[in-house]
Amino acid sequence: MPTAIVWFRKCLRLHDNPALTWACESSEVDSILPVFIMDEELGSEGTGGIGFNRARFLVQSLRDLDDSLRRELGLRLRILRGDILETMESVIDSLDGGAPYLAYEYCSEPKSLFVSAEISRWELSGKMKFEPRIFSGSHTLLDIEKTVCSENYSNPKSMKDMERIFQSQFGVDDFGFYDIGEPLPLPVSNKPMSKMATLDSEFGISDLEVYLSNHYPKRVGEEPYFPGGEGAALERLSVKVSGKEDYVNNFKKPRTMSTNSNEEPREPTTTGLSPYLSTGCLSVRMIWSECKKAYLTGEHTQPPESLHGQMMFREMFYLLSRSVANWDQSTGNENCKDIEWGEYDSELVSCWENGMTGYPYIDAMMRQLEVTGWMHHLGRHAVSCFLTRGQLWQSWTVGRDVFEKKLLDSDWAVNNGNWLWLAGVAPFSMPYYRIYNPCPDSKSSLNVETTLANFVRHWVPELKDFPSKYIFEPHLAPLPVQVSSGCIIGDDYPLPIVDRKESRARNLEKFKLGLHK
């Protein structure tokens, strides 16, 4: 009987992994070959590469996956680098015996859809002898392809639209919840590891770890706040969600603090599970199920503010990314208003990206991103508004690319959707004239802790001794205050790169004119 090549794409986990479970349980499969193909530029600072935090998180996730496969199933992960189609062709050719199965999860990103289409053509043309098994709904709750092709589908713009879609696709169970089904348990198998010839493109995990050490000698010793892997994902799920009925039932995302826990500036007041969702270290179906257990204990918040609501928003961006042409472009995109952004200004963008704008709240958020690879959603609101329609008038695609490189939870569908939304150019955007103040006070909708201001003090240590009264606009502090605080604005910390009020007024007028041209 043939081998099942289990190709890990967006599900770097054992639990609730339909492709892996099928291979373990199928009577048609005699042996299993777990494979991961890396086609991104690991740790690259150039265009199209992923930055250090994302690269380290991925390598840690692969190490954890390999450890789990060895421990639970007696298998090991084969990691290969190179063009996906060429590499997969080499894998299939390297196997002895009958035609193998190729089991993998559906992925809706354009490049992944192209790869899947080419693999299907291989089968139909008889170019290679193998049988594909593609599993939908592995990385999302919805079967994306089935949903967008359904008779009554139209592009969702709101939570009401998503509730209609969930109702039509799932129906409801006896408790009134959408009947999405339970996550699959950890697979059990005694099937052996399939033998594969050593390929030139194969890398060991230790090779990847050495690569990071060589390219980032000053950073590899840092302790990550969000370590990669299914083990870390399940631990965080347990600490933040499972059995935490009060937290889950009372959760309202707009009320969480953008400046994180006052005791630990790196710990989110949200779940902090998004990095594990985007890489597939954690199943969205498992989070949904754990939240439902809490909801069954009593009254709870509702979508869109609830945790279920946030997962539904994620599904919305996946649907739109599949049904809207040019989802990641500012032109030819029906979900993007035609706004003429300013010419790319490398100096302004560099100040923004490196947390040197002279606005401590913005800078703290961007420095947190650089160090940890994460940022609270309200912080993302603020820095994206500042870069685009608020102060700097730069295209949303510029910020999208920075986030794509640095965010641990970067996800093609969601990242583009969020930037379209926050730049004010999408049908589901907030009104364009709602501009976040980059110098928030305690009443700001950005939910900032301003009394102690520990978040700013942690991430912008130049201002650690500044009085809270001036710490969000330090350039307004009298010179004696600056001297006594050990930070002269303009010398030790930058002056604002733009006047926030003048730029706001000017950009509002530009946006308004752009809508009516």
Q: What is the CATH number of the domain that holds 42?
A: 3.40.50.620
479 and 382 together in one domain: yes
Which CATH number characterizes residue 470's domain? 1.10.579.10
Is 484 within a domain?
Answer: yes
Residue 58 vs residues 15, 82, 279, 334, 410: alpha-carbon distances, Å? 18, 16, 8, 33, 12
261/455 Cα distance (integer angstroms): 8
Q: Do 260 and 240 belong to one domain?
A: yes
Question: Distance (Å, rounded) from C-alpha 399 to C-alpha 349?
Answer: 9
- Residue 156's domain comprises 140-182+230-323
The predicted pLDDT at position 1 comes to 62
Q: What is the pLDDT of residue 99?
A: 80
Nearest to 17 by CA among 189, 123, 107, 137: 137
| Nearby residues of 198 by Cβ (< 8 Å), 6 or more positions away | none
| pTM for this entry | 0.95
- Predicted local distance difference test score (pLDDT) of residue 40: 66
Residues 508 and 415 in one domain: yes
What contacts 184, CB < 8 A, 6 or more positions away? 15, 16, 17, 18, 21
Final residue in a domain of this structure, among 288, 323, 358: 323
What pLDDT is recorded for position 47?
A: 43
Place of tokens 């299907």: 120
Cα–Cα nearest to 110, from 408, 324, 384: 324
Q: Which of 401, 414, 7, 8 is nearest to 229 (CA)?
A: 8
State the Cα torsion 346-352-356-360 to the nearest 10°.
Answer: 160
pLDDT at residue number 517: 64
Please tell me whether the peptide bond between 304 and the residue prior to it is cis, using omega within 30 degrees of 0: yes
Could you write out the three-class secondary structure of 479-497? HHHHHHCCCCECCCECCCC
Residue 91 tokens read as 């894998």
162-166 LR contacts (CB < 8 Å, sep 24+): 162/303, 162/312, 162/313, 162/315, 162/316, 163/303, 163/312, 165/315, 165/319, 166/142, 166/312, 166/315
Task: Evaluate whether 375 touches 369 at the Cβ level (below 8 Å).
Answer: yes
Residue 192, domain member (yes or no): no
Burial 365-403 (b: 16+ CB within 10 A, else e): bbbbbbbbbbbbbbbbbbbbbbbbbbbbbbbbbbbbbbb
Q: Are residues 169 and 270 in the same domain?
A: yes
DSSP state of 389: I
The two structure tokens encoding residue 418: 């969020």
| Residue 508: C-alpha distances to residues 17, 397, 437, 457 (Å) | 47, 19, 14, 32
- Single residue among 118, 138, 158 that ends a domain in this structure: 138
Shared-domain flag, residues 107 and 146: no
Q: Minimal CA–CA distance to 181: which of 141, 127, 136?
A: 141
Q: Is residue 479 part of a domain?
A: yes
C-alpha atoms less than 13 angstroms from C-alpha of 362 in its C-beta half-sphere: 30
CA distance linking residue 426 with residue 391, whole number of Å:
19
Q: Are residues 132 and 144 in the same domain?
A: no
- Same domain? For 146 and 130 the reply is no
Kindly state whether residue 221 falls inside one of the protein's structural domains: no
Looking at the fold, whether 130 and 146 belong to one and the same domain comes out as: no
Residue 127 and residue 85: Cα distance in Å, rounded? Answer: 13
Place of tokens 């583009």: 416
Q: Is residue 96 part of a domain?
A: yes
Closest CA relative to residue 10, chosen from 134, 168, 188: 134
| Shared-domain flag, residues 243 and 131 | no
User: Within a domain: residue 59?
Assistant: yes
Starting at the earlier edge strand, list the strands of the sheet with 202-203.
131-135, 101-105, 3-7, 31-38, 78-81, 202-203
Q: Is residue 317 located within the same domain as residue 177?
A: yes
Amino acid (1-letter code) at residue 88? M
Q: Which helix (H) or strand (E) holds 15?
A: none
Say which DSSP state 43 is in. Answer: T
479 and 385 in a common domain = yes
Tokens of 249: 């039932």
CATH of the domain at 293: 1.25.40.80
> Does residue 110 sit in the same domain as residue 249?
no
- Whether 235 maps to a domain, the answer reads yes
Residue at which a domain ends, from 138, 160, 195: 138
Q: Tens-digit pLDDT profile for the chain (517 aa)?
A: 689 999 999 899 999 999 999 999 999 999 999 999 988 666 544 445 789 999 999 999 999 999 999 999 999 999 998 899 999 999 998 887 678 999 999 999 999 999 999 999 997 777 778 999 999 999 999 999 999 999 999 999 999 999 999 999 999 999 999 999 999 999 999 999 888 777 778 888 898 898 888 888 889 889 999 999 999 999 999 999 999 999 999 999 999 999 998 888 899 999 999 999 999 999 999 999 999 999 999 999 999 999 999 999 999 999 999 999 999 999 999 999 999 999 999 999 999 999 999 999 999 999 999 999 999 999 999 999 999 999 999 999 999 999 999 999 999 999 999 999 999 999 999 899 999 999 999 999 999 999 999 999 999 999 999 999 999 999 999 999 999 999 999 999 999 999 999 999 999 999 999 887 6
How many domains does the chain fold into?
3
What pLDDT is recorded for position 216?
87
Helices (H) and strands (E) in the chain, counts: 20, 6
Q: Where are the beta strands (DSSP E) in 29-162?
A: 31-38, 78-81, 101-105, 131-135
- Structural domain contains residue 216: no
Report residue 316 as tokens: 């919305």
